[in-house]
Amino acid sequence: MRRVPWAILLALFAGLGLGVVYSWMIAPRGAVDTKPTVLRADFKDQYRGAIAASFAATGNLPRAQARLSLIGDPDSIEALNSQAQRMIASGEFTQADQLAALALALENGYASFSVPTPTLESLDNVSVEPSITLPPPPPSEDLPFQFTETPELVETPIVETQAVVDNPTPRPTRTLIPTVGAPFALIAQDTVCDTNFPDGLLQVIVFNSRRRQVAGAKIIIAWENGQEEFFTGLKPEIGNGYADFSMSPNVTYALRLAAGSDIAAGLVAPTCQTPGGEDFLGGVKLTFQQP
């Protein structure tokens, strides 16, 4: 009866175990040539941020669309708006503005364009006009009459010269960054008397030209002794284009959008009454939309 070679089997199992530990834990093989679709959520956010920063610098919308398609988001516009809201909540307003601008450009279909560079044309066969010597003016009547010879016209021969044109080194053309869109118009201003809302609540809703709410829109509100900025999209449970501000009693405010809009001036928290006749501080609701 042959004996089982336990020593050989143990050596094989030990070698297999050491190989698994080495390949999985000590020196695992990294991912090579992978696609952005397999990235983690935080890495996808970094990828979108890089695309938005590149678009803000170059204005090349087709390239940004091609890069976003590699991530595999079901809705790139919604993904950009959601990330912009998270950036605003974390205080990264610059990147949030870039993400919101790219989302709005994708929605409106803006394309980049460049300014043509003027060119210099060479000048050849430039000729000099002949100079003519004019006769002297006639004598004045107050002077004694004198006989003078009429000088002959002397023609200067034509000298053909060629202008030396300095060909300057062409400068790079500047690519213009597309604007976010036309200025926003104040289409509605309503007084809100609802006891379910906080006192003096100023509500702002921002829509684009397609009646979709705009996230990350900067709002500037000013009063006699101060000024403050706030953004849409911080309360997505209400709406991506929603923002609010608490007004103080007996203070007059003026509000506008940083991207350009009508100015809502003379905003004062109204005095409302409950069904029982009690006074309370109401609110105001402003609606902006692109034409």
* pLDDT level of residue 109 (50, 70, 90 thresholds): confident
Q: What average pLDDT does this structure show over 14-26?
A: 85
* pLDDT level of residue 179 (50, 70, 90 thresholds): very low
CATH 2.60.40.10 fits 185-289, yes or no: yes
The average confidence (pLDDT) of the chain is: 78
pLDDT at 178: 40
105 pLDDT above the threshold of 70: yes
pLDDT tens-place string over residues 119-155: 434 334 444 444 444 455 554 444 444 444 555 555 5
| pTM of the model as a whole | 0.47
- CA-derived radius of gyration, the chain: 38
- What does the DSSP assignment read for 159-228? -EE------PPPPPPPEEPPPS-SPBEEEEEEEE--TTSPTTEEEEEEE-TTS-B-TT-EEEEEETTEEE
* pLDDT level of residue 40 (50, 70, 90 thresholds): confident
H helices within the chain, ranges in order? 6-21, 41-58, 61-69, 76-89, 93-108
